[in-house]
Amino acid sequence: MRKKSTRVSRAVRKAVGTYQEDQDMLIQALLDLQSAFGWLSEEVLTELSEQLDVPLARIYQIASYYKAFSLHPKGRHIVKVCMGTACQVRGSPQLLNVTQSMLDMKPGETSPDMQFSLETVNCLGCCAMGPVVAVDGVYHSKPSTSDLREAFEAGRRGKR
C-alpha cells in the first residue's frame, strides 16, 4: 500500500470541500487541482476518486479528454505556438520549427530541467497578430529569432 501525501490529501479535501462534495463539480475540482499542482498526478486522481466516491476510471476519462488537463508534469514556463489557419498562412510552421530548435524539444514535451513545456494550439484568439507565440500567457506577435531568444532567456532567469 502506498503512503499518502498529506499535501495532496489536504489540497484534494479543499477542492472537494469548495464544491460541497458535489460530484457534478468534478471538472471544476480537477481545474483547481491542476492549478495547485501544475498537473494531475496518479496520486491526486486516486485521492480525488476516494474523497468524492467517483470511480477512478471516470476521473481519468475526464482528465484525459479535456486539453486543459495534463497527466504529465509541465515545465515552469509554458510556450504555446498558434497553429490556427490565420497564423499558419502567416508562417507559424516556420515559427514552430525555430521554437523547437531553440528549446530542443517537440510539441508536447517538457525540457529535462522542467523549465519549459512546448505546446501547439489551434487558436490563441488574436488572428490579426499572427503568427503568435505565447510564453506564460504573454503574446509575441511575429517574433524574430532574437525576440524568442530573449523571451526564453528571461524564463530561464526566472523573469516572466
The two beta strands, 77-82 and 116-121, are: parallel
Mean pLDDT of 59-85: 92
- Please report where in the chains the cell 468524492 appears, as a residue: 52
Mean pLDDT of 56-83: 93
Mean pLDDT of 67-86: 92
Mind listing the pLDDT tens digit for each residue in 104-115? 999 999 999 999
Contact 114, 103 (CB under 8 A): no
* pLDDT > 70? residue 10: yes
* pLDDT > 90? residue 3: no
CATH number of 77-156, picked from 3.30.450.20, 3.40.30.10, 3.40.50.800, 3.40.50.2000: 3.40.30.10
What pLDDT does residue 23 have? 84
What pLDDT does residue 160 have? 46
User: Domain residues of the chain, as ranges?
Assistant: 6-65, 77-156
Mean pLDDT of 131-140: 94
* Three-state SS letters, 112-133: CCCCEEEEEECCCCCHHHCCEE
pTM, two decimal places = 0.73
- Report H helices in 38-130: 42-52, 56-65, 85-89, 92-103
Mean pLDDT of 145-150: 92
Which residue type sits at 70?
Answer: S
Mean pLDDT of 50-77: 92
